Amino acid sequence: MPKTEIIAAQEPKNMDTAILRLTVNNHPGVMLQICGLFARRNFNLDGIFCTAIEQGETSCIWLKVDETDKLDQVIKQLVKLEDVLAVAERGDARREISEMEAMLVRCS
């Protein structure tokens, strides 16, 4: 089967949270797969943001993961999901994610 692409971190390992960007097949069950995996494997998920890309064939999902110790396991388990096409560690987007979080809080 096509190998899921993994892009490793480009920032120091001493952060509390990690930012992951997934590319996934876009269908109604895929969010359930991701959230279900975190719930049943006892991984902490701090935030999730998802939107369709490429004419809706795929989606990108941004995850803020509170599991820097277990991050290797988190990524390996995500990669095993058939609908996950790519996983990238994206600490470089930390600021944008924080801004988005702040915006979501303001909106409420």
Could you tell me which residues are beta bridge partners of residue 23?
60, 86
Shortest CB 87 distance to other proteins, Å: 12
CB nearer to other proteins: give 79 or 93. 79
> Regarding beta strands 45-53 and 58-65, do their DSSP bridges make them parallel or antiparallel, or are they unpaired?
antiparallel
CB nearer to other proteins: give 26 or 97. 26
Q: Is there binding between residue 17 and other proteins (CB under 8 A)? A: no
CB nearer to other proteins: give 89 or 97. 89
Hunting for tokens 């490429």 — which residue is that? 54
Per CB under 8 A, which of residues 36..95 are in contact with other proteins?
Answer: 36, 40, 72-73, 76-77, 79-82
Q: By C-alpha distance, which of 22, 25, 79 is closest to 56? A: 25
3-class SS of residue 18: strand
Q: Is there binding between residue 31 and other proteins (CB under 8 A)? A: no
CA-CA distance, 20 to 9, in Å (whole number)?
Answer: 9
Where on the chain is the footprint of other proteins (CB under 8 A)?
1, 29, 32-33, 36, 40, 72-73, 76-77, 79-82
